[in-house]
Amino acid sequence: MLQLKRLGSTVIWCLGMMLSLFSLLSTAHAAPTLRYVATSGYNTGIGPLPVINQCTDNTKPCRTVQWAVNRSNSGDEIRVATGVYTGVQAWAGVTQSVYLSKTITIRGGYTTTDWLISNPIKRPTVLDAEGKGRVFYITGKAAPTLEGLRIVNGSASDLRGDPNSAGDPNRNDAGGGIYSHDASPLIVNNVISGNNGCDGCSTYGRGGGIYLFNAPATALISGNLIVNNQAANTILGWGGGVALRESDARVVFNTIAHNQGGTVGDGGGIYILDGSPTIADNLILTNTAGTGVLCNGGGLFARSSTPITIERNLFQDNRALFGTGVISMPSTGGGLYFNGARVSIRDNVFRSNTAATSQAGLGGGLYLSNLAASSRVSGNHVFGNNRASYGVYGDGGGLYLNQSQATVAHNTVFNNIASSSDQGAGGGVYVNGGGGLLHDNVITGNLAMLGAVSDWGYGGGVAISNSVVTLRDNRIVENLANSAPGNASGVGGGLWIYLGAPQIIGNEISGNTSGAGSIGLGGGLYAEETQLTIDRNTIQSNRATGDLSSRGGGVRLNHCTPFTLTNNIVAHNVVSQTGSGVAIVASAGQLAHNTIAANDLGDDVGVSVSSGSQVTLTNNLIANQAVGISQTGAILVMADYTLFDNNGANYNTGVTSAHEVPGPAALTADYHLQSSSNAIDHGTPLIWVTLDVDDDPRLGLPDVGADERVTHVWLPVVLRQ
């Protein structure tokens, strides 16, 4: 019996403990509470006795959002009726309309007669700080949700919050509309307008509309209209619409428009400093980084040492600098500025963005700097009058790539302009230093310089300066180095290359024009002081025009030592004066396995060699020109295993030719070999030439010219298996 009593006591004790535990669990997981706010509500003082409204009765809503927040627990939802809620208050040493350190939801768009359905468009809920402080201040490890609100007229002036490199937060003013530190807010379907990071303050401003510091990847800014915000109206402003500092937040499906950084500004629409955020599926429209001196990133500015993803956005009508700048300090990145090692920029549209309106500019659509080989820029459409500069000089109308090793692939770059009224370079793309790979891009209809009747345009399609970049399998077609008449000059209608040692491989370079005024050099390609490899390209129907001087309809090489031209088709190019096909000046190198044919307008010369050049030619097919090879003042011009066909003169005095291959050339319409061509198997093997213009292998005795005629042998099915 004693044992039974002890057992009973034990059971009762266990049941009591279980009930206590269930009670604690029930308290910990209590259902979220709905709380209500309306302009007609009250916080305290209704009735004969003192009343503290807990905001839980929808027939008796509270008067202010902050009052409801103070009474909320984690997980609660505050529903706010339509109306305008003004006023700010000091809380924990800062001033704002609403101070948040809890994981709660604040949602607008209700009425006092309908607390079930939110319709923030028809029933706007406006939180107006009236320029007296921020609208929202969010701090701590909370994850609040702000949805369906109009967040307006916030100002972070003299409220600080943006830290310096030492971590001191009391440096610059930040977050006029929403300021968040260490939290992971969900900012969804709001209108954020008319806010200032710094309004007439004594410091600098950051994040006019939204500022997130140290936000994790769970933070979300989505579906918002972020419009007419300003980071600073004094001097330096970063992030007119949104500023992300050391944050991994997702910024997706927003419209970010008509925001401004500052007088000197970075990131008119969005500013990113460090962190690994994702910027996707946004409309980034008509933002301005700044109005004076030096500005960067009209639509988006990003500088980070960790990976960033930028995809499927529309960047349109953004401007880095809209105003007076400094000639020696060009503004950069009309649509996008990025400086960092690792980035993925894919499937975006860049249209009608401008780096600078009245001063020097670089990168009308995009300015990208210091990208590592792991970075990729792919599938973007850069078109429709992106412009580096409307005044002074401009480089890179569509894209400026600075000191980078990235892969730039499968993009379309068309109808962009480097400069409107002064020297311009790289109407489509400008590559400055670095290396990397540009492949399978379409670069067409771009213009290096427009309208300056006494200046120079360089590289209508692509300009390359002091780089070892590889251009492979691109279509560089119908670009123009200079459209102006008079004394204007154009150099490199398709490509202009200066210094460095780039490789130009497997591209179509056709229909480009170098000049429309006094000087036109290199209709398809111009290179100067470059160690150049030109291999397996089709260089066709380009024009070098100029009343005073015109050289190299297809290719012009000037002081290039050494160079190689191998496996190229150079055909039907036009020059006003000298070197319809290829013009070589003061250079040393070799031409091997090229087909140079029908360059029959202008001086009608296939290859022109002059001014102390030393050139050897091996296994080339030169046909259908007035003069196949012409030399003037060259040191050495030696041709070996050349098939000359249907030229007025194969070469002039001073050219040495050996082992000539008799015709016929028997070329097809696209300058490949027919089966009747005597070029087949009549070349001499060159150990360093293993492929032809179509990447077909050269085996045994090679064919003369760019094409190796390949006979396909079809095996029975059983052997193929």
pLDDT tens across 123-139, in order?
Answer: 999 999 999 999 999 99
Question: What pLDDT is stored for residue 515 in this prediction?
Answer: 80
Query: CA-CA distance, 321 to 358, in Å (whole number)?
Result: 8
In 3-state terms, what secondary structure has residue 240?
coil
Query: Which residues on adjacent β-strands are paired with residue 450?
Result: none
Above pLDDT 70, what percent of the chain?
Answer: 92
Instruction: List Cβ neighbours of 551 (8 Å cut-off, separation of 6 or more).
Output: 520, 521, 522, 544, 575, 577, 578, 579, 583, 585, 608
pLDDT tens across 436-483, in order?
Answer: 999 999 999 999 998 767 788 999 999 999 999 999 999 999 999 987
Query: CA-CA distance, 650 to 300, in Å (whole number)?
Result: 57
Going 665 to 671 to 676 to 677, the CA torsion angle's sign is: positive
The amino acid that residue 489 corresponds to is S
Place of tokens 């030393």: 614
- Exposure on the CB side of residue 226, measured as CA atoms within 13 A: 40
Q: State mean pLDDT over 490-507.
A: 97
In 3-state terms, what secondary structure has residue 23?
helix
pLDDT tens across 322-356, in order?
Answer: 877 666 789 999 999 999 999 999 999 999 999 99
Query: CA-CA distance, 587 to 573, in Å (whole number)?
Result: 21
Q: Is the pLDDT of residue 22 over 60?
A: no
Mean pLDDT score across all residues of the chain: 92
Query: CA-CA distance, 318 to 270, in Å (whole number)?
Result: 11
CB 242 within 8 A of CB 270: yes
Query: CA-CA distance, 56 to 62, in Å (whole number)?
Result: 9
pLDDT tens across 667-694, in order?
Answer: 999 999 999 999 999 999 999 999 999 9
CB 436 within 8 A of CB 407: yes
Question: What pLDDT is stored for residue 9 in this prediction?
Answer: 45
Q: How many CB atoms lie within 10 A of CB 486?
A: 13
Long-range contacts from 680-686, C-beta under 8 angstroms, 24+ separation: 680/709, 682/641, 682/643, 683/593, 683/618, 683/619, 683/641, 684/618, 684/619, 684/640, 684/641, 684/659, 686/592, 686/593, 686/618, 686/619
Query: CA-CA distance, 170 to 156, in Å (whole number)?
Result: 12
The amino acid that residue 168 corresponds to is D
pLDDT tens across 613-657, in order?
Answer: 999 999 999 999 999 999 999 999 999 999 999 999 999 999 999
Query: CA-CA distance, 57 to 43, in Å (whole number)?
Result: 12
Query: CA-CA distance, 358 to 331, in Å (whole number)?
Result: 10
Instruction: Label residue 7 exposed, middle or buried (CB < 10 Å: 0-12, 13-18, 19+).
Output: exposed
